[in-house]
Amino acid sequence: MRATAIALLAALGAASAFVPSAPLSTGAVSTARKHHAVNMVAAEPAVTTAVKRNANFGKLSAGYLFPEIGRRRNAYLAANPDTRPIISLGIGDTTLPIPEHILSGLQKGASQLGNKETYSGYGAEQGQGALREKIANKLYNGLIKPDEVFVSDGAKCDIARLQMMFGAGVVSAVQDPSYPVYVDTSVMMGQTGLVDPATSQFDNIVYMPCNPTNDFFPDLSKLPRADVIYFCSPNNPTGAVATRAQLEALVAHAKKQGSIVVFDAAYAPFIRTPGVPKSIFEIEGARSCCIEVNSFSKYAGFTGVRLGWTVIPDDVKYADGTPVRQDFNRVMTTAFNGASNIVQAGGLACLDDAGLAEINNLMDYYLDNAVILKKGIESCGFKAYGGLDSPYVFVDLEGKSSWDMFSNILENAQVVTIPGAGFGPGGEGFLRLSAFAPKESCKEAVSRLQELFKA
């Protein structure tokens, strides 16, 4: 028995990435390769396992929106290798480099790991105390407490973890159109039925229409009850920014229906108009029914660095009285291991006065781009929304198919955009332009679009 186990271990070792398959002193391959290379086995014939697929994944018709855009762009490029450089006004991905002070924070975080005295390993799953405190004080003006802040690797990941916490039994409501992660994760969790081919809506999701006819704010009185209401302002993709009165109405609606609002404030600091709330916690009563997700991605150039946070006030409670914060803490400690300590040092630098000034400069640049794009697309004869207090411009195609327009612009202007239909059925007939491209690219894109649409 023991001999068999040893033989089995030896056999496993021969194919393992971590156990060298030959004595270290022999052979021509480098030491690094001997330690880490996996020994290849012959290709196996295609077989299936006995594992049943999670049926919820079968309900999701296409791939995630943004990789699909990338796939179409690459297919175009492969078929047209000699085309002029493609300009991306597609995915909302930052292009300016990280400014000096914030970068120095990241560098400091990395250097600390190379020093015996300052080295750190696993940290608190909820984030470093100093960062939670700085977020609460500098960004929320003390409206929330540091231990109500959960630092994370980004808002998208937090949305998925909130869904994991809410589970399959809740009904979610989303703005239509909206950031596709809310609906897609609801489907993955099993909250929904199938998509209705007639309406392109998932069964058991409450779609809150947001379009020019209602000034991009839903008529709350007409909506069926939902447990969790995802609401994003400044909005992705429409660029609409909710006023204080609208957010007051949203909080009142949630309270009346006993719902929880998940407020996505990923673009909040882009708001420059005085008096417009940058956090749902500026609204009275929000502490008992609102959660806020937020992120350094869009304003500090951290899309690849990965740092965000979620605020859950102590006062938000489930029907049985359990604080929601308690369960989210359980999720974070069990399914997350804290944001990178290097990155959190960068976050601390973001919130120094010098870092905040750098962030403002980055946002000024992108907001300026948004104005260029909006005026540019209007000069082509389109009506456009957003682009003010927001890095997105939402173009009205007056009933035309958004995927057709996406293809037309890609093939004839070599500009990538995002079709509104990718954000839900309510986005059909619209196109999203992202202002996160370099300024020269935004200007060049406008002149290409003017050429394409000239009368």
Write out the residues near ligand PGU by the rule CB under 6 A.
66, 91-92, 154-157, 179, 181, 232, 236, 264, 266, 295, 297, 303, 308
Residue number with CB closer to ligand PGU (37 or 362): 362
Residue number with CB closer to ligand PGU (201 or 236): 236
Q: Is the dihedral of CA 98, 103, 109, 115 positive or negative?
A: positive
Question: Nearest distance from residue 343's CB to ligand PGU, in Å?
Answer: 12
Question: Nearest distance from residue 436's CB to ligand PGU, in Å?
Answer: 8
Residue number with CB closer to ligand PGU (156 or 161): 156
Residue number with CB closer to ligand PGU (140 or 302): 302
Residue number with CB closer to ligand PGU (246 or 297): 297
Instruction: Give bridge partners of residue 173 from the DSSP assignment.
Output: 206, 229
Question: Nearest distance from residue 415's CB to ligand PGU, in Å?
Answer: 15
Question: Nearest distance from residue 231's CB to ligand PGU, in Å?
Answer: 10
Question: Nearest distance from residue 235's CB to ligand PGU, in Å?
Answer: 8
Residue 291 phi/psi, 5° resolution?
A: -120, 145
Residue number with CB closer to ligand PGU (91 or 124): 91
Cα 420 vs. chain centroid, distance in angstroms? Answer: 17
Residue closest to 442 by CA, chosen among 383, 391, 398, 396 = 391
Q: Is the dihedral of CA 419, 425, 428, 434 positive or negative?
A: negative
Report yes or no: 339 and 127 within 8 Å, Cβ to Cβ.
yes
Question: Nearest distance from residue 91's CB to ligand PGU, in Å?
Answer: 4
Residue number with CB closer to ligand PGU (102 or 117): 102
Residue number with CB closer to ligand PGU (403 or 453): 403
Residue number with CB closer to ligand PGU (343 or 348): 343
Question: Nearest distance from residue 412's CB to ligand PGU, in Å?
Answer: 23
Question: Nearest distance from residue 226's CB to ligand PGU, in Å?
Answer: 18
Question: Nearest distance from residue 232's CB to ligand PGU, in Å?
Answer: 5
Angle at 171 between CA 168 and CA 175, to 5 degrees: 125
Residue number with CB closer to ligand PGU (126 or 236): 236
Question: Nearest distance from residue 155's CB to ligand PGU, in Å?
Answer: 4
